[in-house]
Amino acid sequence: MIRRLFLGGLAAALLWLALAAAQDAPPALPRVALETTAGRILLEIEAVKAPVTAANFLRYVDEQRFDGMAFYRAMRSGPVTGLVQGGTNNDPDRTLPPIAHEPTTLTGLSHIDGAVSMARYAPGTATGDFFVSVGPTPSYDAGRSFSVDPDGFAVFGRVVEGMDVVRTILSAPTSPTEGEGVMRGQMLEPKIVITTARRETP
């Protein structure tokens, strides 16, 4: 009888501790599955650390603005490093107004391998185009002496599944003539189509 009471009390205590831990735990970050013609890529979106940029990306997903769009650029900075870029590619029927810039000095995020970040021109011009870092690319962070841009680019997520697909895209064929300026020779031919972009249900 005493042993039964002890075990019952222990179970209740463990349940209470589990409920308390669940209440203290941060909310699960949203995830987005990109189904592409090269395979599936699963992203985790940093809605807490980069709320403005994350909300913008999730709006594109929820309004299905990425469906039928593509990964269209592969920039190789080394044999197995660089970035792949995709999104609405300035399609006026798909692109929403630009958003405020959230630099990595503000969010604490960095361009690690698999980081997902916003493509842009000047700070505050990012809309519906994003890129994935293949290998660490800290020169895209803000405020570093070796940054390619002092304001950096806005990281808002990371790849949690499908980096093999991202690397396949990086090594895909490119056109020798398409693209302007530094992007010449970096445009994928054919493009890797994003068939759907959907939130992943936990």
CATH of domain 28-199: 2.40.100.10
Q: Render each residue's pLDDT in the chain as its tens digit; 202 residues.
A: 555 544 455 556 555 555 554 456 667 999 999 999 999 999 999 999 999 999 999 999 999 999 999 999 999 998 889 999 999 999 999 999 999 999 999 999 999 999 999 999 999 999 999 999 999 999 999 988 777 889 999 999 999 999 999 999 999 999 999 988 889 999 999 999 999 999 997 6
Per the DSSP assignment, residues forming a β-bridge with 90 are none
The residue extents of the domains of the chain are 28-199
Please state whether 11 falls in left (phi above 0), alpha (psi between -120 and 50) or beta. alpha
Residue 115 CB: number of other CB atoms within 10 A?
26
